[in-house]
Amino acid sequence: MAKVTASATKSLAASPDAVFHFLRSYREGRPRILTGNYSNYRVEAGGVGEGTIIAYHFAAGRRERDYRLTANEGDNRSLTERDELSSFVNEWTVSPGDAGSTVTLKASWDGARGIGGFFERRFAPRALHSIYDEVLAKLEAALASL
């Protein structure tokens, strides 16, 4: 199986610490930046940072899937959210940038085999990039309203 990845990056006026604090707030911050692709979002354990467990239903195009992810904090303002139901991993990285900070949201998973896998590797990253761009735009707006 080939690894499939999709990502989006955005420069924000907020400080890296403010952005990271917002992202690790799974109960209050995170729901404000989710697009219509996410439904039934809930925090099942924790709520802030390390060890938090979140679950949601995600739909894009004709693909739908349930996720249950556990959050882990890394060095230098990073969050890794691993799905317990699949190979899917979300990685949030916040670093200092010219205007304040730079945020990257990257997803990866083990792709399907055969012709289905070919189309998945070809089209899924573009579709997710578009959704992640919207998530990051909502993050920018939410931070500006604080």
Average pLDDT of the chain is 90
What's the mean pLDDT in 13-34?
A: 96
What would the 3-class secondary structure string for 41-53 be?
EEEEECCECCCCE
pLDDT, residue 118, reads 46
CB 64 within 8 A of CB 86: no
Per-residue pLDDT of 80-135, as tens digits, reads: 999 998 999 999 999 999 889 999 999 988 765 555 544 544 556 677 889 999 99
pTM, 2 dp: 0.91
pLDDT, residue 61, reads 80
